[in-house]
Amino acid sequence: MTTASPTELAPDAVEPHATPSPSTERARRRRERRRARRRQQARIASRIALSAVLVVGLVTFIRSGRSGDAHDASAVKPTPTTARGLLPAVLAQRDAAGAITAVSVLAPGSGSDGHLILVPPGTMTELPSYGLDAVGRSFQLGGAPLLRAALENLLGVNLEHIDVIDDASLTALVAAGPLRVHVDSQVEQVEPSGLVNVLWPVGDTDLLPGDVPRFLAERGQQNDLARLVRHHAFWKAWLARLHADPALLPRLPGLEDVTPAIAALAKGSVQYATLPVEALDGGGGDQVYRVRQSELDALLEVALPRKVALGAEGRTRVQLLNGTGVVAEAQQVAQRLLPAGFRIVVTANAKSFSYRETQVVFYRREQQAAATRVQRALGVGKLVRSRQPLDVVDVTVVVGSDFKG
């Protein structure tokens, strides 16, 4: 069978073609030349019009791009000082051994009001790779990254700006002369022999810059919650001094993150709070505290801007199990999960260290969406549904060797 062409399929569509006379032929050629010239002119005109449209469009695009860039620069990318001044910052005081003795969360408000929240160093939270421990020990165990992970895990907020300060830097920070502070309860020092010395009695006192570290750190016979009342008194006096004379706040190397937040708080009124906790029996005289979660949630709702909250949909509780044996693996996983809004409630080792593929385990069908978000934050992992119910966590991550921190 042969295939016919379209002409062969419709032979009647071809009309007979008569032979023209010479005069008729000359007239036809003139008409063809005129049509050819008109077509040539039309093509030229079309090209000119098309070129004009392209030029106008290109100019419009460039102008809009420039104006868009200017808008983005002012609305989306504020100056570093403005960005830091409006975001929470943490000033942590450490002793000579590296233990954190005070944690102050500075939260300037979008208007004139701000908040300052003091975190008792003995507050218990899950430290990735180390388990349940006090916030104050995080810096000794893993430096500033672990301190940040501990605080973000505890508070559920983004804390990019953390400065850890020693006694010498604290003295330099408050170096602008004596500071009048009201002492509600006397500050004591307990000698190894048991003898109690009163360092600062009740009432107004003038603190020299070199006295500030000891004034804030000395515990005496009090617990940390009573000691933090003294911190409130110091912050109130110091911010009032800076409000009257902002030039007294020095710009010190290593404190670039927290200084703008201090300056912003000093401009307006400040609401002071201590993290809501209850005392636990830590054994051996240790002062440890458990967060009262509902009160903390209410405090953070007021004190911290919503834009820095992690997990606006509710923080998914995650258990991290090390399935590779790599030291500090959970810290690397936490750096992926905490900014994505997850809360790490348990860290431990898996039953073996031979997991090649990371497993993201969920327990109920309604938890699958959260498990998928965990998988997406990690960038690896296989979703697994466990038939064994587990109420204390929502998702378990068994870290395999495919995870690259």
pLDDT digits (tens, 9 = 90+) for 283-299: 555 789 999 988 998 89
Q: Could you give the CA distance from residue 232 to residue 240 in angstroms, rounded to a whole number?
A: 12
C-alpha to C-alpha distances, 211 to 98, 205, 208, nearest whole angstrom? 19, 11, 5
The pLDDT value recorded for residue 136 is 92
With a cut of 50, say whether residue 12 has pLDDT above it: no
Across 50-60, average pLDDT: 44
Query: What kind and span of H or E run contains 103?
Result: strand 100-108
Q: In this structure, are 231 and 142 located in the same domain? A: yes
Q: In this structure, are 91 and 170 located in the same domain? A: yes
Q: List the beta bridge partners of residue 131.
A: 127
With a cut of 60, say whether residue 71 has pLDDT above it: no
Q: Could you give the CA distance from residue 75 to residue 270 in angstroms, rounded to a whole number?
A: 26
Across 180-201, average pLDDT: 92
With a cut of 70, say whether residue 18 has pLDDT above it: no
Q: What rounded mean pLDDT belongs to the chain?
A: 80
With a cut of 60, say whether residue 207 has pLDDT above it: yes
Q: In this structure, are 125 and 267 located in the same domain? A: yes
CATH number at residue 352: 3.30.70.2390
102-111, 128-137, 220-229, 298-307: range with lowest mean pLDDT: 298-307
Q: In this structure, are 379 and 265 located in the same domain? A: no
104-118, 305-319, 330-344: range with lowest mean pLDDT: 305-319
Tell whether 4 is covered by a domain. Answer: no
The pLDDT value recorded for residue 96 is 84
**68 or 48: which leads in pLDDT:** 48
Band (303; pLDDT cuts 50, 70, 90):
confident
Q: In this structure, are 39 and 87 located in the same domain? A: no
Q: List the beta bridge partners of residue 78.
A: none
Q: In this structure, are 117 and 182 located in the same domain? A: yes
DSSP string, 322-363: ESS--TTHHHHHHHHHTTTT-EEEEEEE-S-S---S-EEEES
8-17, 273-282, 285-294, 318-327: range with lowest mean pLDDT: 8-17
Q: Taking a C-beta distance cutoff of 8 angstroms, is the pair 274, 295 a contact? A: no
Band (213; pLDDT cuts 50, 70, 90):
very high
113-117, 220-224, 346-350, 382-386: range with lowest mean pLDDT: 220-224
Q: In this structure, are 208 and 165 located in the same domain? A: yes
Q: Could you give the CA distance from residue 124 to residue 105 in angstroms, rounded to a whole number?
A: 17
Q: In this structure, are 181 and 302 located in the same domain? A: yes
With a cut of 70, say whether residue 225 has pLDDT above it: yes
With a cut of 50, say whether residue 97 has pLDDT above it: yes
**289 or 21: which leads in pLDDT:** 289
Domain that holds residue 57: 27-75
Torsion from C-alpha of 67, 72, 75, 79, nearest 10 degrees: -110
Band (58; pLDDT cuts 50, 70, 90):
very low
Query: What kind and span of H or E run contains 156?
Result: none
Tell whether 19 is covered by a domain. Answer: no
Tell whether 269 is covered by a domain. Answer: yes
Q: Could you give the CA distance from residue 312 to residue 19 in angstroms, rounded to a whole number?
A: 86
Tell whether 85 is covered by a domain. Answer: yes
* Number of domains comprising the chain: 3
Q: In this structure, are 205 and 240 located in the same domain? A: yes
With a cut of 80, say whether residue 85 has pLDDT above it: no
Q: Which amino acid is at 61?
A: F
With a cut of 90, say whether residue 391 has pLDDT above it: no
Tell whether 15 is covered by a domain. Answer: no
**81 or 380: which leads in pLDDT:** 380
With a cut of 80, say whether residue 149 has pLDDT above it: yes
Q: In this structure, are 166 and 101 located in the same domain? A: yes
Among 66-75, 231-240, 338-347, the range of highest mean pLDDT? 231-240
Band (392; pLDDT cuts 50, 70, 90):
confident
With a cut of 90, say whether residue 2 has pLDDT above it: no
Band (159; pLDDT cuts 50, 70, 90):
confident
With a cut of 50, say whether residue 14 has pLDDT above it: no
Tell whether 61 is covered by a domain. Answer: yes
The pLDDT value recorded for residue 307 is 46
User: What is residue 90's three-state secondary structure?
Assistant: strand
pLDDT digits (tens, 9 = 90+) for 74-83: 333 333 333 3
Band (309; pLDDT cuts 50, 70, 90):
low
User: What is residue 93's three-state secondary structure?
Assistant: strand
Q: In this structure, are 296 and 390 located in the same domain? A: no
C-alpha to C-alpha distances, 201 to 102, 145, 171, 185, 263, nearest whole angstrom? 22, 38, 21, 7, 30
The pLDDT value recorded for residue 19 is 39
Band (306; pLDDT cuts 50, 70, 90):
low
Query: What kind and span of H or E run contains 318?
Result: strand 317-322
Across 88-102, average pLDDT: 90
